[in-house]
Structures are given as structure tokens and as C-alpha cells.
Amino acid sequence: MKQLTKIVLIIAGSISLALGLLGIILPLLPTTPLLLLAAACYVRSSSRLYEWLITNKYFGSYIENYRSGKGIPLKAKVIGVSVLWLSMGYTILNVVPLVIVKLLLFCTALFFSWFILKQKTLHKTER
């Protein structure tokens, strides 16, 4: 049973990692929480995958800084909120015809903006 749990956690972590990577491109997928979920799955199932994830040159530092309570770099916050609002604004104004869906997308953008901006800001001197 322990081996089955390990396999399930590796699969769940890999799916979470893939979705998190898609979240870099697609604004509705929350990148950081999915990467944190992948790290949590890997730390309980595969030390090799966990080490690879947190030492990855593209997003490993984001995971470590977030988990250690240092925060998110200001540049990542600005880019994240900007891309979120540009894509949501375009979708709301040009793609979705239903007012209720437009309102739902607007509220979703507000929530994720609030979530990103409420996180502690990591300053360059803290890295």
C-alpha cells in the first residue's frame, strides 16, 4: 500500500506541475499554488523529484521563497496582475457575450489580483 501511495503522489504532483506550468500562460490557472502542491506531493513521495523542482532555475526560487515566508518578487506580482487583467479584459470585452459570465470573470480576476497582491513582497536584498 505504501508503494501505491507513493505512485499516486508522484502522479498527482506531476499533473499539478503540468497545470502550474500551463498557468504561466493561462491566467485562470493559479501557478504558485499548483507548484506548491507539486512540491508537497513530491516531498512525500520522491526526494529526487522534490530536489529537482525546488532547484529548477526557472521556478524553484519562487517555491522556496514562498514556502520560507520570504514572499513573491515585485516583478512577478506586477507581471502576474498585468497579464491577468490584460487577458481577462480582452476576454470580457471581446469574447464572452453573456453578462453573468463577464461578471464571473471580473470577480475571478479581482480575487486572484487580491491574492497575489496580499502576499509578502520579496525585495532584491532578501534573495
Q: Tell me the mean pLDDT in the region 52-56.
A: 92
User: What's the pLDDT at 76?
Assistant: 76
**How would you class 57 by CB atoms within 10 Å of its CB: exposed for 0-12, middle for 13-18, buried for 19 or more?**
exposed
Q: Which three cell numbers stand for residue 55?
A: 532547484
The pTM assigned to this predicted structure is 0.61
The band of 27, judged by pLDDT with boundaries at 50, 70 and 90, is low
pLDDT tens digits for range 72-107:
878 778 877 887 898 899 999 999 999 999 999 999
User: What's the pLDDT at 26?
Assistant: 75
Cell numbers 504532483: residue:
13
Can you tell me whether residue 27 is helix, strand or coil? coil
What does each C-alpha distance from 37 to 13, 15, 104, 107 come to in angstroms?
A: 7, 10, 25, 24
Q: Tell me: pLDDT of 51 over 90.
A: yes
Q: What is the mean pLDDT of the chain?
A: 86
Give percent of the chain with pLDDT exceeding 90. 46
Cell numbers 459570465: residue:
101
Lowest mean pLDDT among 19-28, 55-64, 88-97: 19-28
Q: Tell me: pLDDT of 59 over 80.
A: no
User: What's the pLDDT at 125?
Assistant: 66
Distance separating the N- and C-terminal Cα atoms of the chain: 41
